[in-house]
Structure 1
Amino acid sequence: MLVQLVGTMFAVGLLLGFVGAGGSGFIISILTVVFGFSIHTSLGTALAAMFFSSAAGAFSHYREGNIVLGTGIVVGGAGMVGAWLSSFASNGIPGEDLKWMTAAMLFLSGVALWFRMRLVSKRNDSQPAKARQRPAVYWASACGVGLVTGGLSGLFGIGATPFIQIGLMTILGTSIRQAAGTSMIVIIPIAVGGGAGFYQLGHLDVTLLLEVAVGIMLGSYIGAKFTRRVPAVVLQRSMVLLPMVGAAILVI
């Protein structure tokens, strides 16, 4: 089972690194449906595992020039607070209800990102990020994006990557590739905050976490290499399909 689990997580990591996703929701689907872990254990373990997948992917994205560092740090810091606080609320949700709620949020995130991609289909993807608001408003908006998306992560166990990327593109003015890379920086502190909350609640399996992390880190680092080497339309469609596939697996 160890080899099977690590191999599966390596394949998942390739996808996550490519689209700039922490992939907690997708990992939850695999752990719950394929390997039979409870939803709460899968949720806590997958959310913490985002730290490893995002750290590896973020390093690769940084070297590829896809990250707006200051924005990512501020959004991620606020997201860490939101994830830690909301993780305690999820503990009171029955497992079966939580599974369906997580699946619904994954599907909704794919739909929302598809809609956003339609709006930016003619946008110049190579343009640099610009703070269109005054600095104080810009950084306040960055904190707001972090708190909301971190809250979604802690409550439903999802990485909220599509919502993070929508916030980065719509509110904070990043390009599509910058959103893919910067979201990896944002997810790192969110994973720390959410993982800490679930550890306190007893829903974090450390052994399982290490097994998942090994496969995810290797795959995520390699997958990030392809983000700048494919047409933007392929990246967009991959971003949309990934959470929807995770939702479909979870409700099987």
Structure 2
Amino acid sequence: MTLSYVISGFVVGILVGLTGVGGGSLMTPLLTLLFGVSPTVAVGTDLAFASITKTAGTFTHKLRGTVNWRIVRLLCFGALPSAVLAAICLKHFGALDKEIGQIIRYTIAGSVLLTVVALLFKGRMLAWLNSHPEKQLQGRSLDAATIIAGAVLGALVTVSSIGAGAIGATLLVMLYPRLTAAEVAGTDIAYAVPLTAIAAIGHWWLGSINWALLFTLLIGSIPGIILGSMAARAVPERVLRVVLASTLTLVAAKLIY
């Protein structure tokens, strides 16, 4: 079973390196469906996994100067309190109960479908915003919308471990269409580090992190991400996104039914 976890981490790492989509939308459903890990433990373990891997990514983007720290602060103003509140709610309602586990399973499915929408329609959303500049938020309205977006992502990530990748990047593109692709990626990763860390601490408090599983996943994922990133230019992005979106749609359907 340990070897299977390492291989799974490697495969997910390659897909993350190829597509840039967060590992949560791939890893959490994989652990739940393929290995029978309870939804709560899958979420908690993946959050700890994400907090470690995204920290390395943040240092890289910081060195490249592709992190907008003002946007990171605004997102964290909403995301971090929301993550703490979501963890408290999970504790209150019994995160390891079967009924709550089923709710989390449906939340994961919904988050996966949101990721599919983000993958397929982000380009069209950006094109529409660029052609309608009067619809773009400015000033305090933009700041408030950013904080609210952070709060929504904070709750979503804590409950399902999904949302800080493709969904977060799509929201950034919609709110800040003038950001470069590198700045969107860097800012998305940077705010996700404290968010996933806080959410992971919450799940550690809940007792829903499998540390042995986390270690074996990291063994496979780190070389996978490196190889995937190296191969990314050789594979058409559009083909990858369609294949990944189709796979995630099937995953969501399986989680629901």
Task: Give the structure-2-normalised TM-score.
Answer: 0.77
Which amino acid in the other structure matches residue 100 of structure 1?
Y
Aligned partners of 1:244 and 1:181: how far apart in 2?
27
Q: What do the CA deviations read for 1:205-237 (whole angstroms, capped 9, x no partner)?
A: 222222223333333344345667766645754
Aligned partners of 1:51 and 1:77: how far apart in 2?
18
Partner of 1:183 in structure 2? Answer: 188
Aligned partners of 1:59 and 1:250: how far apart in 2?
35
Partner of 2:33 in structure 1? Answer: 33
Partner of 1:50 in structure 2? Answer: 50
Matched, 1:217 2:222: yes
Aligned partners of 1:29 and 1:80: how far apart in 2?
24
Could you tell me which runs of 5 or more consecutive residues in structure 2 were left unpaired when the two chains were aligned. 94-98, 131-135
Structure with greater Cα Rg: 2
The alignment partner of 1:158 has SS state of coil
State how 1:1-252 maps to structure 2 within 5 Å. 1-61=1-61, 67-76=67-76, 78-90=78-90, 92=93, 93-120=99-126, 133-134=138-139, 136-173=140-177, 174-224=179-229, 233=238, 237=242, 240=245, 243-244=248-249, 246-248=251-253, 250-251=255-256
1:203 Cα deviation from its structure 2 partner: 0.9
The alignment partner of 2:124 has SS state of helix
The alignment partner of 1:82 has SS state of helix
Q: What do the CA deviations read for 1:116-138 (whole angstroms, capped 9, x no partner)?
A: 322335899xxxxxx9623x544
Could you tell me which runs of 5 or more consecutive residues in structure 1 were left unpaired when the two chains were aligned. 125-130
Higher-helix-fraction structure: 2
Aligned partners of 1:56 and 1:218: how far apart in 2?
13
Which amino acid in the other structure matches residue 104 of structure 1?
G
Quote the sequence identity (%).
27
Equivalences, count: 245
The alignment partner of 2:162 has SS state of coil
C-alpha contact 1:88 1:201 (8 A) present in aligned 2: no
Task: Give the structure-1-normalised TM-score.
Answer: 0.78
Q: What do the CA deviations read for 1:144-167 (whole angstroms, capped 9, x no partner)?
A: 221111111112332342321121
Instruction: After superposing the two structures, state which structure 1 stretch, 72-81 or 220-229, moved more.
Output: 220-229
1:251 Cα deviation from its structure 2 partner: 4.9
